[in-house]
Amino acid sequence: MPFDIQVTRTTNPKPRPPAGDLGFGRFYSDHLFLAEHDGRGWSGARIVPYGPIPLDPAAGALQYGQAMFEGMKAVAGEHGPLLFRPQMHARRMNASARRLCMPEVPEELFLGALRALAHEDASWVPAEPGASLYLRPTMIATEAYLGVRPSKKYLFYVLASPVGNYFGPRPTPLRLWVETEHVRAARGGIGAAKAGANYVAGMAAAERAKAQGFHQVLWLDQTHREIEEAGTMNVFFRIDDTVVTPLLGDSLLAGVTRDSVLTLLREWKVKVEERAVGMAELAEHSTRGRLKEAFGTGTAATVSAIGELQWGQRSIRLGDERGEVAERLYRTLVDLFGSRRPDARGWLVPVEPS
Ligand SMILES: Cc1ncc(COP(=O)(O)O)c(C=O)c1O
């Protein structure tokens, strides 16, 4: 195997968090995967006990934000952990890497890292319905150099966190604030990359929205007209019998869940449109009673109903329940993750060799 992974097991395993109280990103498993890039190639692939990593204060990740990550999940299968669509996450990681002048992580290394970590920490994969082991492949620039140019050294690491539902154990339909001042990403920018910088760009508006009782922000494009995505989700709207979602571009993230949901909807022969959706258009459909449901999709959010959109003075209200399409999608995905449904599309990849 070209990437031989050295394993140093912890001698001090942590207690497992209480079931039903996982939250999102509050607990970390026992191990960490690490590998370095020195400008020529990747080496030093290893599993070590979870802990702090040394970093020079002048590292490019800290100074210029040359840093990015992936977010994906492992679920409990009958014969060990299963990874959800890891190849698609590998492709997105490398698309982010190219945009941010970082080295690509060969798919073999990416999958090897996930497999090795999920294998070591298999007992951290929660078994309760809806819970999973969230995996966070991350790449940061580590060279100490203050000139502005891409770093010549990088660290690729993967951490694991057992998680429940992102919006709590009994999520209610989300209230979203339609942001008309800040933008998360502009055309030609880095919005399609999973760069940490995109998340800090959205924090001020998200905090403002949260202070007013909203769960997340609905981001519009730089003209403040067209809908892009929500905090950590892609968004879908059912207008009569057609499900509409914003077209991908360079200012929004191409969600793996978005792709999965589009695949399912097309298989079910539901009419879907990937196209520009304006807030004005949505408001008009709502007035005419044609806006039947709205939902967000994401690794953490799965399929979360949107109950309200606050757009300036105008409140666009949807139901207090998950709509019928969102419900069917949610059930299908949760049943798939819980191995209660055959995996016809090969989306779940076993960690252990069969
Ligand atoms: C900004 C943003 N958009 C969309 C998504 C949904 O992507 P995915 O379905 O791959 O998790 C995320 C997810 O984590 C996100 O952070």
* Pocket probe mutation, ligand 1, options 89, 134, 253, 261, max atoms within 8 Å of Cβ: 253
Q: Which residues contact 124 (CB under 8 A, 6 or more apart)?
A: 16, 29, 30, 133, 160, 162
What number is the average pLDDT over the span 289-315? Answer: 96
89 Cα to the center of ligand 1, angstroms: 11
What number is the average pLDDT over the span 1-13? Answer: 88
Give 254-301 pLDDT, tens digit per residue: 999 999 999 999 999 999 999 999 999 999 999 999 999 999 999 999
52 Cα to the center of ligand 1, angstroms: 26
**Closest CA to ligand 1's atom 13:** 232
CATH 3.30.470.10 for domain 6-164, yes or no, is yes
Could you tell me the pLDDT band of residue 28, with boundaries at 50, 70 and 90? very high
229 Cα to the center of ligand 1, angstroms: 9
**Closest CA to ligand 1's atom 1:** 232
Q: What is the reported pLDDT for 71?
A: 98
255 Cα to the center of ligand 1, angstroms: 5
Whether 110 and 122 have beta carbons less than 8 Å apart is answered as no
**Closest CA to ligand 1's atom 16:** 232
Q: What are phi and psi of 83, to 5 degrees?
A: -95, 135
Give 142-199 pLDDT, tens digit per residue: 999 999 999 999 999 999 999 987 766 667 899 999 999 999 999 999 999 999 999 9
192 Cα to the center of ligand 1, angstroms: 10
Tell me, which fold does domain 174-337 have in CATH?
D-amino Acid Aminotransferase; Chain A, domain 2 (3.20.10)
86 Cα to the center of ligand 1, angstroms: 14
**Closest CA to ligand 1's atom 12:** 232
Give 90-121 pLDDT, tens digit per residue: 999 999 999 999 999 999 999 999 999 999 99
Question: Measured from the CA of 184, which atom of ligand 1 is nearest?
Answer: 1
Whether 152 and 184 have beta carbons less than 8 Å apart is answered as no
Pocket of ligand 1 (CB under 6 A): 71, 229, 232-234, 253, 255-258, 297-300
What number is the average pLDDT over the span 218-246? Answer: 97
Q: At residue 1, does pLDDT exceed 60?
A: no
Q: What is the reported pLDDT for 239?
A: 98
Question: Measured from the CA of 256, which atom of ligand 1 is nearest?
Answer: 10
Give 41-57 pLDDT, tens digit per residue: 999 999 999 999 999 99
Extents of the domains making up the chain: 6-164, 174-337
